[in-house]
Amino acid sequence: MTYIKPKFRHPELPVNAVGYARKDYEGAISTLCGGCGHDSISGAIVQACYEMAIEPHRLAKLSGIGCSSKTPTYFLSNSHGFNSVHGRMPSVTTGAILANRDLIYLGVSGDGDTASIGMGQFVHAIRRNLNMVYIVMNNGCYGLTKGQDSATADLGSISKGGVPNAYMPIDLAGMAIELGASFVARSFSGDKTQLVPLIKAAMSHQGFAFIDVVSPCVTFNNNPGSTKSYDYVREHLEATAAVDYVPEKEEITISYGEGQTADVELHDGSRLALHKIAPNWDPHDRLSAIQRLHVAREKEEVLTGLLYLSKDNETFHQFLHTVDQPLNTLTEEDLIPSQEVLAAINADHR
Amino acid sequence: MKPTDIKDPEYFHRVVDCQYACPAHTPVPEYIRLIAAEKYTEAYMVNWESNVFPGVLGRTCDRPCEPACRRGRVEEEPVAICRLKRVAADFKDDPRAHMPMGPFPANGKKIALIGGGPASLTVARDLAPLGYELHLFDEQIKGGGMMRSQIPSFRLPESVLDEEVGYVLDLGVHAVFNKYVESMREVLAQDYDAIFVGTGAPKGGDLPRLPGRWDAPDHIHIGITWLASVAFEHTTKIGKKVIVLGGGNTAMDCCRTARRLGGEEVTVVVRSPFETMKASPWEIEDAMREDIPILNNMPPKEFVVENGKLKGVLFEKVEAVYDESGRRKLIPTGEPDVFIEADDVLIAIGQENSFPWIERDLGIEFGQWDVPVLNPVTFQSTLPKVFFGGDAALGPKNIITAVAHGHQAAISIDLFCQGQDVAKDRPAPTVNLIHQKMGIHEWGYDNDIAGDLRYKVPHLEKKQSLHDRKLEVELGFDPATAFREAQRCLNCDVQTVFNTSRCIECDACVDICPTSCITFTMNGEEEDLRTRLTAPANNLEQALYVSEPLKQTARVMIKDEDVCLHCGLCAERCPTAAWDMEKYLYQVTKAGQGCNTTLAV
Ligand SMILES: Cc1cc2nc3c(=O)[nH]c(=O)nc-3n(C[C@H](O)[C@H](O)[C@H](O)COP(=O)(O)OP(=O)(O)OC[C@H]3O[C@@H](n4cnc5c(N)ncnc54)[C@H](O)[C@@H]3O)c2cc1C
Ligand SMILES: Cc1ncc(C[n+]2csc(CCOP(=O)(O)OP(=O)(O)O)c2C)c(N)n1
Ligand code: SF4
Ligand code: SF4
Ligand code: SF4
Ligand SMILES: [Mg+2]
């Protein structure tokens, strides 16, 4: 007669390289609807952080408003967190990144939070190439406010309300590529074998890493006629390639047929091994990625996997020429120029 | 793997680890919940149905259920299942109102029960209400067998035994005590429709060839004979210095009894290493608490007797060496022999069957070690109307095994007397599954998993208990502690039942499961599957629950039953009720029950 997560865990669970077990990355018990895709994404985040042996205190999770934005409570209880206002996660993250460039930033948002009220924030986060992972838990509706169609709902898609959606959808992944995001991927909450390596790759990436995760709202948008339901998405799934995250030191052991495997390098030395690559797609070629997305839309495919990864990109701190040391650790001494320096500067202006 | 057939009554039975391990398959979680609800009488009756002697077993059972308890796999110690049974017995009201009440209409059949231990008494309990006329013979003055003659009163008060033996005899059993049956031929010559032999394993092991054994016979005793003599008050004291030879439970009872009869320096000497001692860990612990040293790796070499007076025992020093095949040998270490002084020695080195009263030309065949040849399911001997059970059947075991045999023998005797086939017509166990959902976050059982560690049963002060052999050492749980201990039970009988066609593969159950039991993956052979699960699945004794292929991805749901907490969170989170928590009640068939297997899924 209770709803408390027992404290017992599997007795043989291993620990990762920094000595933490998976449970050390868990959060409070979820209060989302049972079966909500967002919970699976939380599970994938826990799994990815555990496997990457991230020390929880080295990560900050930030979110806006929505069921999706509530999820940071349900993972990484030992990490920093900031639950901001609707659509404002990017600007809060911008400030945090400015203040402390040393943390890993994980922004969590919804399709409403990003594609409607937060759209302005979203595009500027991309332009600034903030060094963060930006996950949109995309269910095509405003789950928290009872399922109204969101800006990512497909034309004609029918949610529980029963009225076909009259507007064209915004494809956040396509838009991110268009705006110059340096890492863009799409995935599905129901496919952790793909989602976990993508999250790990996104965390290894320096710069703005965007993952649009289709995440069914089991309560308001999982009915026949919806294009964001579990069965519709599963029936229409198509991947650019199967992905394997390969940590820095590990050799790639799996090898697929000639011409079907590629290996893309990430900034920290780790790699994404891509198998069974779709024809006419090169992860480093923005045009091919956009074209592939258009083909997918025409064929009514839900195209997942890595979509685009830029080879070289400058991030926010590089644009701003800030010092390497996190700004929040600079002391008065570091910040206030000495009399001599001040004199020299003044002399320059005379 | 093939999809799991949950309609097979044995599948979920295995998940209820304690009940499965109990020879009589007592529905343990069922009675523990009743104790938590302060329904002690009901809890007692659940036990009484299954094991006939809840008060006795709640103190003395070998408790094979506890090492099996799932709790021991997720934290340090199992639930104190046995001591909770005692709680039911201690705090119950008069249970007789819930028991069958004679006189029962006679069915015209007459059965002889030879021996009055737990095996025979169980047969009597099961057959009396069916109208059998039961004649029970025992050489002792009262019923109970070794429960009376061997188990000391400081572990089992006589009043508890009298009460529970009484419940059985009061069903209308014609008991003849002080009667040693001397000839099976004579019994067969009477008009019994069937005969049950529950005479135990009454012969205590001896060391007849050890030098000095027969030089001071009054001070060298056979342990079980001596314990019986103490129980029936023929022996009331023992010397100050006592050596007990042997490392089993009998040795533990001997040394503790000796402490209470005047033994001041009581030493247990075991020929083999401490780790391989047969005594239950808690019995060893209790002996050590009473200042009884246990010396190991010392086989006796000689009873040292001077001028007809026992001086002590000389021991050799050995070490255990294991050869490639794992066989143990005790090799002398070459150290000097050890002499230990003693006024009395108790030999507690095992027990054997002995049937001097069964003539060997009656058609009852005996095999190795004088054990009767029996059908292991029906307990029927090679003479169809004669059945065996308890220690008499398979050699010395324990009370709960004797009870389990008694139930099975009673079924056989009933079938035999009704002209049915004792093997083929055995009725299947009854099982049912009952839905437990009551509302949002509400289940028909308490699914909050208590984190408490095992509670210890309080003991009587040592000084006081050593003073009087009849004072019970263990005091039992009080109701408040009993409640907390009961809450440690994981309700393993509330099963996770999976409905493949409802599942939408949302992963909610996988994500919530605290012990990572659930995986959705492509099917494969068990060996391969066990390497691909969410968490290690190395306990091969626990089944993998495998679903049919799922609609959307053709994967299967695999649940490793090993460390499932039965917390119900999977069912709580499942949006489609593909998981359900269903209470599974498995009841071993009793004599007289028809063939009715019901499984409501
Ligand atoms: C010292 C000691 C301590 C033990 N402690 C425990 C314990 O703590 N827990 C536990 O579970 N088990 C314990 N046991 C084992 C347990 O007592 C036996 O396994 C159990 O009693 C066997 O039951 P039974 O019905 O087969 O036979 P028994 O209990 O041995 O009963 C057989 C009866 O038949 C009588 N009998 C034998 N031959 C004849 C005959 N020809 N005519 C008439 N009567 C006859 C005997 O006198 C006896 O009363 C202990 C055993 C010993 C020796
Ligand atoms: C400024 C402001 N406007 C409107 C709302 C009401 N509101 C709360 S959540 C939400 C939409 C959330 O949708 P989404 O981001 O897709 O999250 P979901 O619940 O679907 O995961 C809205 C409009 C609000 N909380 N604040
Ligand atoms: S309303 Fe929808 S999005 Fe919100 S928790 Fe429920 S299923 Fe998830
Ligand atoms: S009842 Fe369900 S959630 Fe709880 S431990 Fe068992 S499988 Fe996991
Ligand atoms: S929660 Fe229910 S519907 Fe979802 S995967 Fe588990 S069993 Fe299937
Ligand atoms: Mg949404």
pLDDT in tens, B241-297: 999 999 999 999 999 999 999 999 999 999 999 999 999 999 999 999 999 999 999
- Domain A22-320 in CATH 3.40.50.300? The answer is no
Q: Is B75 on the interface with A (CB under 8 A)?
A: yes
Q: What confidence score (pLDDT) does residue A346 get?
A: 92
Q: Are A207 and A315 in contact (CB under 8 A)?
A: yes
Chain B residue closest to A23 (CA)?
B514
Residue B97, amino acid: A
- What is B110-202+353-417's CATH superfamily? FAD/NAD(P)-binding domain (3.50.50.60)
- Tracing tokens 């030098």 back to the chain, one arrives at B211
Beta bridge partners of B339: B314
Residue-wise pLDDT tens digits, B16-33 = 999 999 999 999 999 999
pLDDT at A251: 61
Measured in angstroms, how far is the CA atom of residue B36 from the centroid of ligand 4?
22
Structural domain spans, chain B:
11-98+450-489, 110-202+353-417, 204-349
Count the residues in chain A. 350
Rg, Å, chain A Cα set = 21
* Cα–Cα dist B333/B316, whole Å: 9
Work out the average pLDDT over B515-539.
96
Contact flag B507-A5 (C-beta cutoff 8 Å): no
Given the CA of residue B146, which atom of ligand 1 is nearest to it? 29
Instruction: Please state which of the four CATH numbers 3.40.630.10, 1.10.1060.10, 1.10.10.10, 1.25.40.10 is assigned to the domain occupying B11-98+450-489.
Output: 1.10.1060.10
- Name the more confident of B323 and B187: B187
Q: B45-91 pLDDT, tens per residue?
A: 999 999 999 999 999 999 999 999 999 999 999 999 999 999 999 99
Return mean pLDDT, chain B: 95
Q: pLDDT per position in chain A (350 positions), as tens? A: 357 899 999 999 999 999 999 999 999 999 999 999 999 999 999 999 999 999 999 999 999 999 999 999 999 999 999 999 999 999 999 999 999 999 999 999 999 999 999 999 999 999 999 999 999 999 999 999 999 999 999 999 999 999 999 999 999 999 999 999 999 999 999 999 999 999 999 999 999 999 999 999 999 999 999 999 999 999 999 999 999 998 876 665 544 444 577 888 888 889 888 888 888 889 999 999 999 999 999 999 999 999 999 988 899 999 999 999 999 999 988 888 889 988 999 999 98
Q: How would residue B599 be classed by pLDDT, with cut points 50, 70 and 90?
A: very low
Same fold, B110-202+353-417 and B204-349: yes
Residue of B nearest to A30 (CA): B512
Say what the pTM is: 0.91
- Comparing alpha-carbon positions, the chain A residue that sits nearest to B446 is A1
Distances (CA, A) of A80 to A15, A44, A93, A202: 22, 18, 12, 19
Give yes or no for a contact between A283 and A274, defined as CB atoms under 8 angstroms apart: yes
Residue written as token pair 């984190």: B451
pLDDT tens-digit readout, B368-414: 888 899 999 999 999 999 999 999 999 999 999 999 999 999 999 99
Q: Is the preceding peptide bond at B103 cis, omega within 30 degrees of 0?
A: yes
By the 8 A CB rule, do B552 and B504 touch? yes
Q: Does B532 touch chain A (CB under 8 A)?
A: no
What are phi and psi for residue B440, nearest 5 degrees? Answer: -65, 125
Cβ contacts of A38 within 8 Å, gap of 6 or more: A32, A67, A68, A71, A137, A139, A189, A215
Quickly state the pLDDT bin for B595 (edges 50, 70, 90): very low
Contact of B149 with B231, CB cutoff 8 Å: yes
Check whether B420 has a pLDDT greater than 70: yes
Q: What percent of chain B has pLDDT over 90?
A: 91
Percent of chain B scoring above 70 in pLDDT: 99
d(CA A56, CA A77): 8
Burial of B99 (0-12, 13-18, 19+ CB in 10 A): middle
Instruction: Please report the ipTM that was assigned to this predicted complex.
Output: 0.91
DSSP string, A49-95: HHHTT--GGGEEEEE-SSHHHHGGGGB-TTSEEEE-STT-HHHHHHH
Three-state secondary structure call for residue B219: helix
Tell me, what's the pLDDT at A252? 55
Decide if A34 and B74 are in contact by the 8 Å CB cutoff.
no
Domain B204-349 carries which CATH code? Answer: 3.50.50.60
Calculate how far, in angstroms, residue A145's C-alpha sits from the geometric centre of ligand 3: 9
pLDDT score, position A253: 52
Whether residue A1 and residue B551 make contact (CB cut-off 8 A), yes or no, is: no
Residue partners of A151: CB distance under 8 A and separation at least 6: A111, A112, A115, A116, A119, A167, A169, A170
Q: How far apart are CA B12 and CA B1, in angstroms?
A: 18
What pLDDT was estimated at residue A259? 52
B328-349 tens-digit pLDDT: 899 999 999 999 999 999 999 9
- pLDDT over 70 (residue B597): no
For residue B511, give the nearest of A7, A40, A230 by CB distance.
A40
Token look-up 């029918």 returns A158
**What b/e string do you get for B121-152 counting C-beta neighbours within 10 Å, with b at 16 or more?**
bbbbbbbbbbbbbbbbbbbbebbbbbbbbbbb
pLDDT bracket for residue B440 (50, 70, 90): confident
Give residue B285's identity as a one-letter amino acid code: E
